[in-house]
Structure 1
Amino acid sequence: MSETGHKPDPDNATGGQMPAGSQPAFPMRRSLFRKNLVTALLLAPAALWLVVFLVLPFVAIAIFSVGERAPEGGYQAALTFAQYANLPARATAFWNTMVLAPVGALACLLVAYPVAYYLALRAPDRWRLILLALIVIPFWTSLLMRTYAWMYILGGRGIPALLAYVGIEDLRLINTPGAVLLGIVYGYLPLMILPIYVSLERLDRRLLEASADLGATPVSTFLGVTLRLSLPGVMTGFSLVMILLLGEYLIPTLLGGGKVFFIGNALVDLFLQSRNWPFGSAIAITLVLVSVVVLIVANRISTRLSGARRVDLI
């Protein structure tokens, strides 16, 4: 007991200062608020871009699709699903797109996989970047210019003129489904090569060595190890090319000559020529739904393949 007869106050034992562990949480809250504010400001331009150029146009197209065509063309407010009932009127465009899009993506895959395999597992290190540049650099040029080049190659002064010198005449290459398929493979090949290359480049080489040590043949090693572990990249490239081909317009127009009609050609005709905006919007919504289905299926397959870590070596 002190001389004054008072007991020491435990609350003032620290000289009126708060313990170190009981500091106010305001500085921490301010730091968290500033961090969230900075994150929001960084995301704001991208979010604004998505809203203006993706969400709002999609909402407008959805509204147009349940309307009617005005007498002078364009859009007239209404609430009807007659435009969706008229989708069979463009059955040819849907058929060509649903056939040539997956066939074109598959053709790109058949060409891209050997190229990506060589770049990732066989090409010398000093040549790898050069070969990748040769694949990517043509993709920097306009697709229009590259497609016009193929028009000249497949036209009367290109390959047909060369074949005429050896006696092969009246061979028509341009304005055919084959010409469209060739243009698709050439135009979208880099988009298929790069995802497969990344998947193969990350492959653990020790698995290949273990497979060989266990007596597996090269074919068994490729099917059981290399191909299986590269399937996520294959699915990524296939779905990317497939979705882009669903809306392709330029290649069928230039190399198909109006004889190979895609959904993209139908949309241009409906919006710019006949000015039937509701019907064109209904086709566009259907195309978006098909693209979403392709994305969902590809994502589920890729997720399952990525989660399967077991590899059968023999």
Structure 2
Amino acid sequence: MCYDTLLTLDGTHIRGYLLTRLIGHGSFGAVYEAKCNSDTIAMKVSTEEEDLLVEASALQQLYYNDVSPKYHFNGKYGPYHIVGMELLGFDLEWIRENTPSKSCQRSTLIRIAYQMVHCLQALHEKRLIHRDVKLSNFALSQPKTPGNQVSVKILDFGMSHEYCDADGNLKEDPRGFVFKKMRYSSYDVSLGLDPAPKDDVIMAGYAILYAGGFDFHEKLKSPDNELMNWKRELIRAPGETLPLMLKFLEPFFEEVGELIDILPVNHDLLKQRIQDSLPEMDARSALTLTEEDGHPVLT
């Protein structure tokens, strides 16, 4: 089945839902807005059965944590495999790209960072690692009144993995992803080590810098040795490596640099270090999404 056919399913009815528009697509497949009477959801459609079963399992496990899209169903439609889930709002990369300054204010960034770590905490407490943490894999909930309040949720679990059993024994992933080839992987993973929960946090750190105005995509174009040196120094000596405009995040990145594979991530301490980075702002306070002159304003 040609991948391109996944992008032309507008108008198709699946499980009583009409696919009304293509929201996004990637190597995983395609995501559509789908409607049934007054109910509107997101439906992911793919030819990759195993990855969608992994995604459905992660969504089910996180259902009551409110950090990911709510799971509705999964199944098969002709040659396709599908997952129905809550329809979220804009992803954080879209927000960044459509903000004139290409960056979030410090007070907004602190709250985004806090909620991103909170999402990872819920995931890691289920013994799951995401392994594809980037700004586009976090999205905002639909605005709620009063005040258009939104929260950050994590999505796209096709590459996630239950890394250990209840006794702490590590589990292999038979799918055999080669994560060291991902330019945005952490330093240790770029060396060829298996991803661990700490590497999700490190990748979240890259995403936080990107949301704060650092051109991480441009950094990824650097020669291999230069990129590796930057990744290493960011966690070894963040005070000397962080961009000037983001040096206030040093307490957080210092704590990230203390993470090691064999110990569980102390997410509460990471969240405290985010708070320490901007003490005058309550990192736990709500985000709001409004519009000004046609541009999204996340505050």
Into which bin does the TM-score normalised by the smaller protein fall?
Answer: under 0.3
- Whose strand proportion is higher, 1 or 2? 2
- Whose helix proportion is higher, 1 or 2? 1
Indicate the structure (1 or 2) with the bigger Cα radius of gyration: 1
Could you tell me the TM-score, scaled by structure 2's length?
Answer: 0.21
